[in-house]
Structure 1
Amino acid sequence: MNSTGTESLHLGIHIDRTVTDVYAYAANPANLPEWAHGLGGSIEKVADEWVADSSPLGRVTVAFVPRNDLGVLDHYVTLPSGETVYNPVRVIADGTASEVVFTLRRQPETTDADFERDAETVCADLARLKELLESSW
């Protein structure tokens, strides 16, 4: 078990859509249930927060950094415990396509098995994002 919280894993996927298209879709919290199943099957805006009640972790809030022209989709997930997890995400132009890179940071006291499971969840979410954007959106 790594308890330092300093390990990061960069998980990326190539999407055959423009950076503008990918960013516009992924930056909209209302779209999260369609592709980010790791956050749950529903999300709603409550006051100034986006709340996912059906998250595997329980009720969580999600807050994105302000929209920007740099492809930064960083977001903060506040867990039921009150702990907030920072998730760096970038949408990077690759010619007429894009690459989405999610930096998974190992949280203190996370076991190797849990870190691997988190990575698998993020990879599955990114694959769904790719499928949605390349097929129908």
Structure 2
Amino acid sequence: MYSSRTVTVAIARPLQRVYEFLAEPRNLPRWASGPLVNYHQVSAHEWQADGPVRIQFTPVNRFGVIDFSITPSSMLSQMTPARVYANGEGAEVAITLFQREAITNEQFASDCAWMEADLQVLKTYLESLEP
């Protein structure tokens, strides 16, 4: 079993609005940093990023599931569970990160901090839009 950490952020926008935004892969560059900003769709739920990276997104569903899987050619596929659920009149976004064997404690802490920063960008972006 891997160590894990779930990073969350509360967003003062309706659940459905937050889910619809996150369920659209084209919105990823608006809030997520890193190397996955230049990518194109190759099938219904699969996208190809620059280089050998493929991203698979969970199909739109009524459960708030927005899981994604990133598959670099040199590694096993890394599934990342992600959920959007109600938090009062707003929404909560939760993304779980796993510390795989090759990841040091320092790198895992850095990855978690990176995700926290990206979720803060998401919160700021969505809360800046008209309610």
**TM-score strictly above 0.5:** yes
Q: Structure 1, unaligned stretches of length 5 or more?
A: none
1:83-115 residue CA offsets vs partner (Å, 9 max, x unmatched): 210100010101210010111111122101110
TM-score computed with the length of structure 2 as normaliser: 0.90
Match of 1:51 in 2: 48
What is the CA distance between 1:39 and its match in structure 2? Answer: 4.6
What is the CA distance between 1:47 and its match in structure 2? Answer: 4.3
Match of 1:22 in 2: 18
**2:31 is equivalent to residue 35 of structure 1:** yes
When the two chains are superposed, the root-mean-square deviation of aligned CA atoms in Å is 1.6
Length, aligned pairs only: 129
1:13 maps to a residue whose letter is V
Change (3 A) 1:114 1:100: same
1:105-127 residue CA offsets vs partner (Å, 9 max, x unmatched): 11122101110111011111111
When structure 1 is superposed on structure 2, of 87-96 and 30-39 the one drifting more is: 30-39
Q: Using the alignment, how far apart are the partners of 2:16 and 2:114 within structure 1?
A: 25
**2:2 is equivalent to residue 9 of structure 1:** no
Q: Using the alignment, how far apart are the partners of 1:95 and 1:59 within structure 2?
A: 41
**2:71 is equivalent to residue 78 of structure 1:** yes
TM-score computed with the length of structure 1 as normaliser: 0.86
| Segments ≥4 residues shifted beyond 6 Å | none
Change (3 A) 1:41 1:66: closer
What is the CA distance between 1:82 and its match in structure 2? Answer: 4.5
Q: Structure 2, unaligned stretches of length 5 or more?
A: none
Match of 1:88 in 2: 81
Say if 1:7 and 1:106, in contact at 8 Å, map to a contact too.
Answer: yes
> Which of 29, 41, 65 is 2:58 aligned to?
65
What is the CA distance between 1:52 and its match in structure 2? Answer: 2.0
What is the CA distance between 1:59 and its match in structure 2? Answer: 3.7
Say if 1:38 and 1:121, in contact at 8 Å, map to a contact too.
Answer: no
1:33-92 residue CA offsets vs partner (Å, 9 max, x unmatched): 111113533221134531221xxxx54211111211110111111113152101000101
